[in-house]
Structure 1
């Protein structure tokens, strides 16, 4: 009430002052506008109704001759409230910029009627509703309009096509749906159109060639289908084209060869196919070319070598064949090359360490192909390399000493090749290394002690080689280590006790070596899984359930020439003889035990090899030929399909389902860990819904669809195995286990606030990707969220409901009954449609679980506590901070934690329509995490 009175008095003062000759309407309009705002930082303190004009006010610019307001810039001032009608009085306003605030409400259609308005920027707020159709109906002078990063819904207004003066239009990252307005390509003045990050669909209509002045078109992250418009080449001034992450198909239109001015083309994540034509080399202005995650085939064009301005080339995840063209040596400006996950053959190209690329290349990814040859001996000339990946090829020879010259490289991945020799001691000179992956090779020798110089190392994987010697104590000085895998080698000796001091350690696997002695005590080693130390019969400690032998004083051995030993009747002498006898017996017993153990292991090895020889498994490459490892191809013997790379089970399909390797159980099956013949660790889900599973053809069709979903925050489906009585799904193995274990398992180190926030954001990104691909999860819970070695969240078990013959609620409820507390209320109501909003509900519960450290439903002695109700109640009485996991103590930023809690409650709303979409959740989290950076990105 007091505020209203003050505003009224201010307006009365304005009206009185309006009689003065120098007064203009702009003061009244701006004071009206200010009255509808909240200004927590008092940025508008200079706005006073006592002034005759507002030209000296914060954010206001005036015409020096008339003193009328021409520009209003109030960006990033943390203003909230609504955009009031007072602005309509600013009849000479040309620029209105209110971006990066917290403004709410809908867009006033009359804003565009301000007579001279040329630029309006409302991006980065919380505006809702649709863009009014009338907004663009009378845009006499409007040239630039941006509504990006809001919560707008509905369709793009049809009147947009009549705004003939429009030069730039940005509607990106909202929830706008529907198709493009039919007359959109009639805007002859249009130079930039950005509708990225929405829910738009339908085909992109022909006619884009009418826009001769078009410079930028960004349609990424939508649901557009059909082909790339055939007349796009007529946009001869086009600088940037981004159609990535849609549902486009077909070949590249020939008219694109006319885009000679284009510097960036991104078509990632569609279903485009055919060969990349040679005319691609005519686009000599290209700096960025991204054709990844499509179905392109044939050879990589030799003409790419003409693109001397090219900085980033991404052709990964296609079906390219043949050799990498030597002409790429002519691309002097290249900073990043990614041709991973293709079918490329031939020698490792000589140009990867040639002088022309020296000092500039930062990313080199040739992984998951069929390249062969040696790593160039002068690889160290790539002095700017940050990411180096040549894994999953057929490389042989040794690792060159010059690898130590890669002083800026953070990731080196040479895994899954045929490399031999030792790990060069020069590796210690690669001082920026964070990840070193050399697993599944034929390396021998010792771990060089110089590795201690790689002080930033987080991930060290040397598993499945022929390494020997002891594990150097120097590794315990690598304080940032989180993931260490030294399994399946020939290491001997004892584990350094200092390893227990590695406070960041989340995974340490030394299984199947020849280590002995007591496991380190403390830290991660107090809860190390038994599978991580298995296959070392001489290790002892509580983890392996094997007590360590007590330490005895060494028996005294008398000098036979001593005079004290002459008398055979001495009691002392008799006792010493007994000691010697017991010592001898212990030695003999230990020797016998070792002999028996060796014999037993030999017999087991022979048995496993015979099982391998008898195991009849057919191998089918995804999109390739079928190779049989069995006497016939009868499906009763089983069909194994891997979506990338040649692989086979190291033992028979039934033999791999070893209870000792069980990782967990869920509504759809039991999960085991095993190793494929090519050395990869994978997680195998044995489906327990065989009676409900579709026919083999439908099963394979659905699983292959799921196998195409690739996202950093999803657990990748690597393949499947089928027999009529046994169905297995093969997933990537995620090393650090489930989110449930990290939150609720005793003895686990407490996740920090930053780790928890990253998990919440990662889960949101993974779900948003699934929803963009029109796929629901149905079974969200903390046991289905896994953490990798860097703490990145990966959502698993997505899409399994598609394997059932129909999405029957009764069947689903029985299969996901373990998701109690995560299930949206509409599952219990047959009249309410199940949509992506049901996943959003489960996500909201997960958010609260991560922050509070409490389970969704907890059974007390005489009560049942529902997490959502508990947090909602605390919020209502203003005690929400008390809900945050006590293990975090006061070590969390309240300015982030409380908004995230509120977001979780909104996602877990009982009414589906009140829940946001996951894309919106991602945007909100990114703004919460770092509002200043988030605001910069909106510019």
Structure 2
């Protein structure tokens, strides 16, 4: 327990409380217990996990307050406590966390002031949303737990002191007092608010008339944050929706349905994905980024997104457009009706599991897609089975590529824990600051994906008293002369071992610990094509 570094039990059906014994895991760096049915309080013993960098207890039913001992975790960078029933105030000790990048406590019942630190002064509203009593300077709120006293002005004070409130002693009752009560102050503030509102409405009407008279550009539509996210606190200004290429930039559904939870397709390290339909009837997938504090400036963001929009390949998901404000960023992609590869590998029965030919085609298609990205200078960083989507014909398309370039504030560990949410896909050089991150990281992830497709097993499996790493499992089976044990039992022997064996070996070569020992993706494609049609390649050599 003391040597445990990663504990991921998320998305199970765990109930009960978070065990206080977790405090004994002093080497724990990554604790993920989200999307379960946990109840009770967050144990204060968690403050003893001095190495903790990432903490995810989201989507449970935890109650009570955030323990003060969390402030002891000075290495903490990512915290997600959203979608619980936490109450009370956030402890001031949280201001002691110098490395904090993400602190999401949205959708709880918290109240009081935010801790006084640079991070919390600039915290995105999405991280604290749906906490009615939580006070934020970003929303111009102030806690009213202590009612202000009436202001008493002494008319006998000198002129140079008239701006200061002077208390009047009880024995000076014969002097006149000017007392501004709370109700008077509220009335004054209300009048000022009405005046400001009138001016604001006039300015907005004038802008609207000017906008209506200006020539309209087809691919650009101005939308408010209310329309897109139903979060009027996100941003007071309008954003810009940009669609690339042909197609209407308007949506057939109303704004209330654009990011409706009923339309949610799934959630990943960067945010949730929703489905909606354009006016021309074309369905699209919209990714709402939930790491606004880490996103680049508008100019850099648009420059990177427009570069990604030029990606056009049969095995890569196309980026259709984007929406930007300082607090809300959306990426709009083609919608793929076949779902993701993870679902087909791990949530299907033997009757509807993928055949050998389908698995081979998927491996080859992903390899071709990655080769195209690398040839255009794009490193994926986030390759895994849930980011490989299938179209109506079962053809694979690589999605979620290039997002790391939008988030310059991510260091290597946050990148590996936030993006590479499945530990088994992460190349070992992420843990070494002296090794350069290159396309060979994607090659490593591809190798793991190959073994996952062939075996039907997840990259890392957590058993009751053991952790099984897929690469090690396959390597041991080959060394012991049991290659058939590397294949998914649902294939029932319906595969040619002369094709399967070289692909297994290719997957292991791609997952070499040394980056220079891994092949380039173009070489991988050549090897796979040779395995698929060896007789054609032999004939080509004779010619």
Shorter-normalised TM-score: what interval?
Answer: 0.5 to 0.7
Q: Deviations for 1:187-219, whole angstroms, at most 9, x for unmatched residues? A: xxxxxxxxxxxxxxxxxxxxxxxxxxxxxxxxx
SS of residue paired to 1:832: coil
Q: Deviations for 1:400-450, whole angstroms, at most 9, x for unmatched residues? A: xxxxxxxxxxxxxxxxxxxxxxxxxxxxxxxxxxxxxxxxxxxxxxxxxxx
SS of residue paired to 1:674: strand
Q: Is the 8 A contact 1:706 1:717 kept in 2?
A: yes
Q: Deviations for 1:511-549, whole angstroms, at most 9, x for unmatched residues? A: xxxxxxxxxxxxxxxxxxxxxxxxxxxxxxxxxxxxxxx
Q: Residue 799 of structure 1 aligns with which residue?
A: 402
Matched, 1:764 2:367: yes
> Structure 1 CA distance, aligned partners of 2:360 and 2:493?
16
- Tell me: CA distance 1:835–1:676, structure 2 relative to 1, closer, same or farther (3 Å): same
Of residues 367, 382, 385, the one that matches 1:779 is: 382
Q: Is the 8 A contact 1:927 1:935 kept in 2?
A: no
- Tell me: CA distance 1:885–1:725, structure 2 relative to 1, closer, same or farther (3 Å): same
Q: What aligned pairs does 1:708-857 form with structure 2 within 5 A after superposition?
A: 708-747=310-349, 749-806=352-409, 808-857=411-460
Q: Is the 8 A contact 1:647 1:678 kept in 2?
A: no
Of residues 211, 232, 243, the one that matches 1:642 is: 243
Of residues 865, 870, 889, the one that matches 2:492 is: 889
Structure of higher CA gyration radius: 1
Q: Deviations for 1:866-908, whole angstroms, at most 9, x for unmatched residues? A: 1000000001011011110001011000110000000000001
SS of residue paired to 2:281: coil
Q: Residue 706 of structure 1 aligns with which residue?
A: 308
Q: Residue 6 of structure 2 aligns with which residue?
A: none
Q: Which moved more, 1:745-754 or 1:895-904?
A: 745-754
The structural deviation recorded for 1:861 is 2.0
Q: Is the 8 A contact 1:720 1:727 kept in 2?
A: yes
Matched, 1:684 2:320: no
SS of residue paired to 2:241: strand
The structural deviation recorded for 1:811 is 3.1
Q: Is the 8 A contact 1:636 1:724 kept in 2?
A: no
> Structure 1 CA distance, aligned partners of 2:402 and 2:495?
35
> Structure 2 CA distance, aligned partners of 1:717 and 1:626?
14
Of residues 887, 912, 922, the one that matches 2:515 is: 912
Q: Residue 36 of structure 1 aligns with which residue?
A: none
Q: Is the 8 A contact 2:275 2:284 kept in 1?
A: yes
SS of residue paired to 2:275: strand
CA RMSD of aligned residues (A): 2.5
Q: What aligned pairs does 1:107-186 form with structure 2 within 5 A after superposition?
A: none
TM-score scaled to structure 2, two decimals?
Answer: 0.56
The structural deviation recorded for 1:630 is 6.7
- Tell me: CA distance 1:888–1:626, structure 2 relative to 1, closer, same or farther (3 Å): closer
Structure 1 unaligned residues grouped into runs of 5+: 1-614
SS of residue paired to 1:638: strand
Q: Is the 8 A contact 2:220 2:249 kept in 1?
A: no
Q: Is the 8 A contact 2:413 2:430 kept in 1?
A: no
Q: Deviations for 1:335-385, whole angstroms, at most 9, x for unmatched residues? A: xxxxxxxxxxxxxxxxxxxxxxxxxxxxxxxxxxxxxxxxxxxxxxxxxxx
SS of residue paired to 1:798: coil
Q: Is the 8 A contact 2:427 2:445 kept in 1?
A: yes
> Structure 2 CA distance, aligned partners of 1:635 and 1:772?
41
Matched, 1:672 2:305: no
Matched, 1:871 2:485: no
Q: Deviations for 1:239-295, whole angstroms, at most 9, x for unmatched residues? A: xxxxxxxxxxxxxxxxxxxxxxxxxxxxxxxxxxxxxxxxxxxxxxxxxxxxxxxxx
Give the total of aligned pairs: 319
Q: Is the 8 A contact 2:222 2:238 kept in 1?
A: no
Q: What aligned pairs does 1:493-532 form with structure 2 within 5 A after superposition?
A: none
The structural deviation recorded for 1:859 is 1.2
- Tell me: CA distance 1:712–1:779, structure 2 relative to 1, closer, same or farther (3 Å): same
- Tell me: CA distance 1:644–1:933, structure 2 relative to 1, closer, same or farther (3 Å): same
Q: Is the 8 A contact 1:847 1:901 kept in 2?
A: yes
- Tell me: CA distance 1:891–1:641, structure 2 relative to 1, closer, same or farther (3 Å): same
SS of residue paired to 2:279: coil
Q: Is the 8 A contact 2:459 2:471 kept in 1?
A: yes
Q: Deviations for 1:26-69, whole angstroms, at most 9, x for unmatched residues? A: xxxxxxxxxxxxxxxxxxxxxxxxxxxxxxxxxxxxxxxxxxxx
Q: What aligned pairs does 1:207-222 form with structure 2 within 5 A after superposition?
A: none
> Structure 1 CA distance, aligned partners of 2:514 and 2:293?
34
The structural deviation recorded for 1:774 is 1.1
- Tell me: CA distance 1:628–1:672, structure 2 relative to 1, closer, same or farther (3 Å): closer
> Structure 1 CA distance, aligned partners of 2:255 and 2:296?
21
> Structure 2 CA distance, aligned partners of 1:654 and 1:908?
45
Q: Is the 8 A contact 1:900 1:925 kept in 2?
A: yes
> Structure 2 CA distance, aligned partners of 1:927 and 1:756?
16
- Structure with the bigger RCO (C-alpha within 8 Å, sep 6+) is 2
> Structure 2 CA distance, aligned partners of 1:921 and 1:933?
18
> Structure 2 CA distance, aligned partners of 1:907 and 1:648?
43
Q: What aligned pairs does 1:361-376 form with structure 2 within 5 A after superposition?
A: none
Q: Residue 154 of structure 2 aligns with which residue?
A: none
> Structure 2 CA distance, aligned partners of 1:909 and 1:813?
18
> Structure 1 CA distance, aligned partners of 2:237 and 2:514?
48
SS of residue paired to 1:684: strand
Q: Is the 8 A contact 1:786 1:793 kept in 2?
A: yes
The structural deviation recorded for 1:817 is 4.3
The structural deviation recorded for 1:913 is 0.8
Q: Residue 659 of structure 1 aligns with which residue?
A: 261
- Tell me: CA distance 1:666–1:627, structure 2 relative to 1, closer, same or farther (3 Å): closer
Q: Is the 8 A contact 2:223 2:240 kept in 1?
A: no
Matched, 1:900 2:480: no
Q: Deviations for 1:117-142, whole angstroms, at most 9, x for unmatched residues? A: xxxxxxxxxxxxxxxxxxxxxxxxxx
The structural deviation recorded for 1:819 is 2.7
The structural deviation recorded for 1:637 is 2.3
> Structure 1 CA distance, aligned partners of 2:534 and 2:363?
17
Q: Is the 8 A contact 2:223 2:239 kept in 1?
A: no
Q: Residue 933 of structure 1 aligns with which residue?
A: 536
Q: Is the 8 A contact 1:639 1:722 kept in 2?
A: yes
Q: Is the 8 A contact 2:220 2:241 kept in 1?
A: no
> Structure 2 CA distance, aligned partners of 1:854 and 1:625?
47
Q: Deviations for 1:52-90, whole angstroms, at most 9, x for unmatched residues? A: xxxxxxxxxxxxxxxxxxxxxxxxxxxxxxxxxxxxxxx
Structure 2 unaligned residues grouped into runs of 5+: 1-207, 225-234
- Tell me: CA distance 1:885–1:697, structure 2 relative to 1, closer, same or farther (3 Å): same
Q: Residue 924 of structure 1 aligns with which residue?
A: 527
- Tell me: CA distance 1:883–1:628, structure 2 relative to 1, closer, same or farther (3 Å): closer
- Tell me: CA distance 1:628–1:660, structure 2 relative to 1, closer, same or farther (3 Å): closer
